[in-house]
Amino acid sequence: MGLLELRDISMIYGNVKALQDIQLTVRQGEWLAIMGPSGSGKTTLMNIIGCMDKATSGSIVLDGLDLSALDSKSLTAIRRDKIGLVFQQFHLIPYLTALENVMVAQYYHSLPDEQEAMAALARVGLQERARHLPSQLSGGEQQRVCIARALINYPMLILADEPTGNLDEANESIVLGIFEQLHREGHTIITVTHDPEVAELAERCIVLEHGRIADERKHKSVVREEKGA
């Protein structure tokens, strides 16, 4: 049994079937990439996995807990305690410094701890920029703050929606380096991306089309590993 299990997940908005009978298992420590054209259901799937939306039908189990049976308050608690979110548009609170933005996640989770937040920023190489406001940071730096914020409460699942979508090449490389490092450390990561190069870094990639999983590819190393086993 994986860390995350999706069984027969469907999402219907009026007459539109955004997701149809999705079956997906993500094991502990795996890096999964989700690809697909616009409107294929990537974001809807991320919202369901991230406990921000409830599927019309089907079940979703995270760490042995059936999320489909939970109410919105319990889903908020799951999101706070078990999931770290990284956004394409960074979404930092504009009137708080980088350090305070990280501490906000601690504040909602338990207790703000400045030293711990500073250590999280140091991990993404931003300790020198901790007292700067988001408007004083570059896009890459903002995304690294976003990653530090996602990591601060030790989530069991990191969800990243197009984490490099708004970054230049140099910053993309830095951010992907951080994700590789997190993966090596054993974090479970799900990334939505349009970029095949980003998807290439993941162990496994699923391709969504019209709300269905149209294709599934495994990283060469994984294939090699499986063959070896």
Which residues contact other proteins (rule: CB under 8 A)? 43, 46-47, 50, 52-53, 73, 76-77, 79-81, 85, 87-89, 91, 93-96, 100, 103-105, 107-109, 111-114, 133, 149, 161
Rounded Cα distance between 183 and 180, Å, is: 5
> Would you tell me the crossing angle of helices 98-109 and 139-151 to the nearest 10 degrees?
20
* β-strand partners of 207: 35, 215
CB-nearer residue toward other proteins: 153 or 203: 153
CB-nearer residue toward other proteins: 52 or 222: 52
CB-nearer residue toward other proteins: 152 or 199: 152
Alpha helices in the chain (DSSP H): 42-49, 72-82, 98-109, 114-123, 139-151, 169-184, 196-201, 220-228
Quick one: which of 2, 11, 1, 5 has its CA closest to 59?
A: 5
CB of 145 to other proteins, least distance (A): 13
CB of 6 to other proteins, least distance (A): 17
CB of 112 to other proteins, least distance (A): 4
CB of 97 to other proteins, least distance (A): 8
Quick one: which of 92, 105, 88, 86 has its CA closest to 137?
A: 92
CB-nearer residue toward other proteins: 91 or 217: 91
CB-nearer residue toward other proteins: 101 or 188: 101
* β-strand partners of 35: 207
CB of 209 to other proteins, least distance (A): 20
